[in-house]
Every structure is written in structure tokens, then in C-alpha cells.
Amino acid sequence: MAIPSAALETRTVPAAAIGTAAVVAPDNECRYAAAIARQGWRPIAVDLDHRLRPSPLTAPHAPGPYAHRLEHAGSLERTVKSLRVLAVSAVVAGSAEGIPLAEGIARQLHLPGPDPATSILRYDRGAQATALEQAGLPAVRSVRTTSLAEALTWAEKHHLSSYVLAPAAAAVPVESVVCEHVLQIRAAWPGLKREAARHSGDDHLVLAEHLPGRRYLVNSVTRSVNGQADHVVTDVWAETRTSNGRLARTDLLRRQQLLTRALHMYVHRALDALGVVCGPAISRIGYAAGRGPVLISAVTLPATSAADRALREAIGHDRFATALEAAIPRATAQLIPAPTGHRVTRIHLHPRHSGRIDPWTARVLREMPTVAAVSPDLQAIAAAAPPTGTEVVLSSHESHAIEGDYRIIRALEHACLYLPDVDVPHPFERLT
């Protein structure tokens, strides 16, 4: 259990809002609205007109306790004028689609932020690789294009052992494809290009060298200090994948490890090359023999997951609150739990059979000793089909306890966590 540290000096929040913050193009995963309201500020949403949104975002506006909503129909001047009337004094991007617009609005309102002319560097993996290479930093060899012929010419020129084909837009929920020869690139190209356009409105793809080995997620927050960008890495995670490439688990790395320090130093230099001057960033890093850490992609959004509470207790601060404070000063004191030093592991589940979760088995899973959190679909009392991204969070200061529960969870997942496609007897007898 976390032991709260001493409270910070408190300030009384006036009945009126301290300020107004605009969340640009918030999606359904965006948590900014509630967090801004907790800080005593008034959140408003800047939604994209339906003509400017890729098809997955044409659903009703993202929910949230917004005091006001306005729609950006393409005119930056008109949107900025409306925001001035609303006395907006802070701007954050609520999704990857909102990054360019948020940076443009911030510049027009004379608020701190990066150069809108280079917005593509904050969300496009192809542009990022070029920028890193120009800065003299290790970068993946790649080509960004909409032309299959150009991609094949590049592949034949470089003669790599394997390639990765992915959307140029780094934040879209589209899996990259590993290809070993041009025939596989040809086969994967049409479908991937179509999905990239559907999710981001941009059909550019990136064909890059495939870096074998583990991937690392580095979360950071940048503040402007005396006119200089000060990058602070909040947490680093290592991914483990199955033999067929599916994500199995993500483990929080200790800050004292030499690898963690190497990732810190590389990310600081990479963020400078990408023009990040304030706000959060999620960097996905690979490791290349002879070159060290190599950026695969980055996006300037805050990372959130079911592991946030366990992470807060393990490292002693709230990552999301830290990201928000880069744009909005903390309004009230908050108790921050003292760090526990616990290991934190996110277990990523992969539905089998019908995909519907058995509530009896899910209850057994939730009550395991090291389980700190589960995604919402594992909390249902009735059989439910899990969405993409189902996970279980384990936390403990004992490594063997996490590894033991991890093996049990995989056994439950294989044997009885998912209901069969047809009505067959359950492997375990239920208690009635």
C-alpha cells in the first residue's frame, strides 16, 4: 500500500474558473476534460467538422464534461477568433488528428508551443526518421510514400533481410506488417494503405528496416524553462511479444538500469530533433546492433492505460497530471503517494473462441494477489465480448509473485477465460 507523502501547500480554488483550456479534436480515449475541470479550469472542446475527420471519428462527439463545444470547419482565423471570445489561455491536442490544429491555434493565441510549420514531426514516423537522420541521430532506414513502385524500388536498392510496412501516421490503430521480400510488400500494400487513409485521412505508408528484438515505450513531458525545452522522462516500459509477433506483456523498467539511462539520453536528443518544446510525448524505441537506441515512432500525446494507478504508486507521481501541468499550472494541492518501488507489468490478453469473457473466471482472475487493475470488460458480471486492448495489471515488489500470477493468467486464458463458440460444458464446475 502506498503511504501518502506530506500535502503540498493548498490554495483555495475560486468559484469562477481559473482559466479556460481548449481540447482540440478530442477522441473517445481523451481524458483531458475531467482532468482540466479538476484543476479548476473550464474545458472546452474544439471538434473537427465532419468533412475534416477520418471516418472512424465521424461518430458523435467525444464525451466529457466540456463547458462549451465549437466546431472547426477549416478556417483557422475563425476558430481562433471564437476561442479569443471564450478567453482561452491554454491549448492541448485531444488526439493525433488534433496536433497540427492545436499547434496552429497556440501560435495564433501567442501561447507557448512548437512551430506549426513542423507539426508533421510530432506524429508522422516517416518525417521523424528524416529529421533524426539530418540531426545525426540513429534513425531507421525508411521511405515515406504513397507509391508501391517507389517502395519496391527502395526495397530492392537496400536488400535488407526484412522490412516493416506501416502507416506514416504513428497513432492510428493499424498493425504494421513485417515483410521478408517484395511479394509480401505487394500483398500487404493495398489493404494497409486503405486502412491508413480510413483512420487518419492520409494514405502515406512507410517502408522501413525491421529491427529485431524488444521494443521500448518511453513516456516524457517537456516544459519550457527560461526559453529552453526541458525534457523529463517519466517512465520506461519494455515490450515482450509472442513468437507470432503479438504483444504479450509490457514491463516497467527500473530507472537505475543502464539500458533505461541510455534510452533517457537518446529520447532527450530525439525530442529536440523533432521540435518538441512543451507537453507530453510517447516514443517507441527499438535497438539496433552497433547503433544503440533507434526511434521507431513518436506522438505528442499523453499515455494512459489501466496501469496508471499502479504506476503512480510505484514511481510516486501521476504521469497524466504531470503532462497536463505542462500547459496548465496545478491549481490545488494533491496528495502524491510515496513511491513503493513495486514492479508493474501489463498483461495483454488475446481473445479465443467466441471472444466473450466468462464472468466467473474473470472474478477468479481479479482476486489474484498481484492484480492491481483490469480493463473494464473484465469487470462485467455478465458474459461480454472484449474490445481490443484487454489487459490485466500486476504490481508487486516480489518478482516471483508477478511471474507466478502471470503463468496462472495465461493458463486461465487458454483453458476457460473465454466462452466457447457453442454450448459445451465449462472446464471447471461453477459454484452456485
Residue 376 CA: distances (Å) to CA of 136, 305, 356: 44, 11, 13
- Write down the pLDDT at residue 334: 60
- Write down the pLDDT at residue 7: 29
Residue 35 Cα to chain centre, angstroms? 17
Q: What share of the chain is helix, strand, coil (3-state, %, to 5)?
A: 30, 25, 40
Residue 28 CA: distances (Å) to CA of 57, 195, 278, 294, 421: 9, 19, 23, 31, 30
Query: Is the Cβ–Cβ distance between 80 and 58 less than 8 Å?
Result: no
Interatomic CA distance for residues 57 and 169, integer angstroms: 15
Residue 398 CA: distances (Å) to CA of 1, 238, 259: 14, 18, 21
- Write down the pLDDT at residue 17: 65
Mean pLDDT per block of 10 residues along the chain (432 residues) reads 31 58 92 90 93 70 86 94 95 94 96 94 97 96 97 94 95 91 96 94 95 93 88 95 88 89 96 96 93 96 90 87 86 67 92 81 94 89 69 94 96 90 52 44
- Write down the pLDDT at residue 330: 72
Q: How many CA atoms lie within 13 A of 12 on its CB side?
A: 2
Within 8 A by CB and 6+ apart from 242, the residues are: 248
H or E element in which residue 77 lies: helix 76-85
- Write down the pLDDT at residue 57: 56
- Write down the pLDDT at residue 331: 60
Entry pTM: 0.88
- Write down the pLDDT at residue 322: 87
